[in-house]
Structure 1
Amino acid sequence: MKPIVNVIIPAFNEQDSIGNVIADLPKFVDEVIVVNNKSTDKTKENATKAGATVLTEERKGYGYACLKGMDYIAKKEVKPTIVVFLDGDYSDYPEQLTTLIQPIIENNIDFVIGARIKKLRENGSMTPQQVFGNWLATFLMKLFFNAKFTDLGPFRAIKYQRLLDLNMQDKTYGWTVEMQLKALKQKLTYTETPMKYRNRIGVSKVSGTVKGSIFAGIKILSWIFKYSFK
């Protein structure tokens, strides 16, 4: 049976990239949900023009936007089989969604991370603090949980029911690591799929600023230590 795939894209001031992201998604995707996270540009208009369902989340934060998308899905009559999370900055290759969900469809895996491996990354597409932060977070998850994650990549796919079981709560920078930690705690089956990665359109709101990098690092580490000593 054909899986029902919904894509959630949190977006803050991504007017120059959001149309490209939506256009490059495979045609079998059943619904693209863009969550306009307090943008001050034409993100909402451009996403609507590109054919997405556009929601508005006034509370600023990556997790807030993702939770808004999930709340919308929960109210739909027909629920998806798979939910994919994807950034709106065009750094990922949306057409690789087909590869991303393949382990779920073919091998019944619960959760798949699109891993931004070095040989497939464009030069400069990840800042030194991103590379170090990913290494540290995944090293600690390996140390405490014997995890096999190598990345906190935002391009990820998960079975919808498993996503509900995780009871996601983080409102800001800790969303990705919370999902991975809870997947480990609940013993979900998971894997990583190597993904191409390029320089984003525009400036990153997290890794592109010192403040964003520091807060993201603190949030990620706090989630890891919280779960390590439970």
Structure 2
Amino acid sequence: MANEVQKRQTALKVNIGNLLNGTYIKQDGMLPNYVLLSDGSKVSRVNLIGVVVSVGEDTGFQSVFIDDGSGKISVRAFEDMPKLKELSIGDCVLIVGRPREFSNEIYVLPEIIKKIVNKQWLEVRKIELEKNKLPEVEIPSAKSGSAQVQTPSKTSEQVNDSQAVVEEEFIDSSINNDVVKKIKELDQGQGADFDEVIKQTSPDAEKTILSLMKNGDVFEVSPGKLKVLE
């Protein structure tokens, strides 16, 4: 049941700088921990695009640092994750995962790792985030008993990583290849028309497209125009 709740959480598109400047909040019970951003957003899952600037394998975990121009953040896996090992300095990558904190440092526990061939997607993401930018609000201080800053143990991180791998398989298996192929087929450079993709596939394609957009596999480069992340 807990895993089903986690799967329904949307991975929010944020820039790394805002994530690092947020406040990590630990909640009681089964409620997910999150990062409280300056605009009031509560981020329990993130969707990041950045360039790998360093790679390493510390004792007990694999890690890379990615940079999107606003900041640099560590992406860490506490169990074997081949896709993380395959990354090299200079790779452009999409990361979907859960923010965590250790020794007052926010990092990301990855669920989905996807290399991006075209680095122009970095600029697309910057424009997208700027368009959706919300005004900053005053952030109330965390109250003891209901929320507090977390300093997690490695054991809890390893448990979360196991759950993340399961979720990665769930998300990947839900992608409708026919819709992706149709978007590529109709895209002549300016993006595929949203309505035309639905018309040439099925009425249910709209749900699939929205799911692909949430997962970061498809972007709306302009109103009603879709592109596949490659």
TM more than 0.5? no
Name which one, 1 or 2, has greater alpha-carbon Rg: 2
Larger strand proportion of the pair? 2
| TM-score relative to the length of structure 2 | 0.28
Whose helix fraction is larger, Structure 1's or Structure 2's?
Answer: 1
TM-score, normalised with respect to structure 1 = 0.28
